[in-house]
Amino acid sequence: MYAITCDNCKEDLGAYSDYSAWADKSQVEDDAENSEWEVFNGTHYCPNCYTRDKDGNVAIKNKPKK
Ligand SMILES: [Zn+2]
């Protein structure tokens, strides 16, 4: 099974989705995109951790401090 976490804040995609584990990598990445996560080459960012400007450029926010 596959699951992904945000590469920035380590949030679990399961917190944003109806699922908590996925049968294959393409499914988990589809669900990430459907949950408004950003998927780059092998990295994943939750909606709290990136912004997209009007030109579609993605900027990753700084890691939250806890
Ligand atoms: Zn995040």
The tens digit of pLDDT for each residue in 21-32 reads 999 999 999 999
pLDDT(41) > 70: yes
pTM for this model (two decimals): 0.82
CA–centroid distance, 39 to ligand 1, in Å, is 12
Instruction: Indicate the pLDDT class of residue 62, thresholds 50, 70 and 90.
Output: confident
Q: Where are the domains of the chain?
A: 13-60
pLDDT for residue 64 is more than 70 = no
d(CA 64, ligand 1 centre) in Å: 8
Report pLDDT for 6. Answer: 96
**Cα-to-centroid distance, 55 and ligand 1 (Å):** 22
Q: 23 CA to middle of ligand 1, Å?
A: 22
Q: At residue 46, what are phi and psi to the nearest 5 degrees?
A: -75, 165
In whole angstroms, what is the distance from residue 29 CA to residue 13 CA? Answer: 10
Separation of 22 CA from ligand 1 center, angstroms? 19
